[in-house]
Amino acid sequence: MGSFSNFSVISVLLVLSLVSVASLAEARAFFVFGDSLVDNGNNNYLATTARADAPPYGIDYPTHQPTGRFSNGLNIPDLISEAIGSEATLPYLSPALTGQRLLVGANFASAGIGILNDTGIQFPFPSDPSTTRK
């Protein structure tokens, strides 16, 4: 458990250092890859049970509505976007991600994602009976 904790601390420090460096240079686009920690709504467009589109998610978000973020408010990419003076990235599956909005960047994160084949098995596709638990 200690190595996970160390990894978390190192990750936060890396993000903070990137934000400080990013504020010195003009950012052109911001692309996000990851899991539920940085997912800002991609799972709203996927057939999965890993969803954050209902309360209590979003209660501290500016609109006080669930957005698909697995948090009660802004997540790390939102804070980085604010720090570099850019608008928040949209989920790559969002129909609103076109034209100028795409030039800002995109968020490709999805809750339950991982590099192993078994990652996310606890969130089966609802229409796939072979992945349901017995």
Q: Residues 6 or more apart from 97 whose CB is under 8 A from it?
A: 90, 91, 106
Domain presence at residue 40: yes
Q: Find out whether 112 and 35 touch, Cβ atoms under 8 Å.
A: yes
- Phi, then psi, of 11 in degrees rounded to 5: -60, -45
Q: State pLDDT tens for residues 67-102.
A: 999 989 999 999 998 888 888 899 999 999 988 888
Domain that holds residue 53: 26-124
Q: 6-62 pLDDT, tens per residue?
A: 556 566 656 656 655 555 556 678 899 988 899 999 988 888 888 889 989 999 999
Query: Would residue 20 count as lying in a domain?
Result: no
- pLDDT band at 132, cuts 50/70/90? very low
**Position 43 in a domain:** yes
Q: Note whether residue 92 is domain-resident.
A: yes
15 within domain boundaries: no
Side chain identity at residue 74, one-letter code: L
Does 14 reside within a domain? no
Give the Cβ contact number of residue 8 at 10 Å: 11
pLDDT at residue 30, rounded to an integer: 87
Domain assignment of residue 111, yes or no: yes
Burial label, 26 (beta-carbon count in 10 A; 0-12, 13-18, 19+): exposed
Strand partners, 118: none
Residue 13, domain member (yes or no) = no
Number of domains in the chain: 1
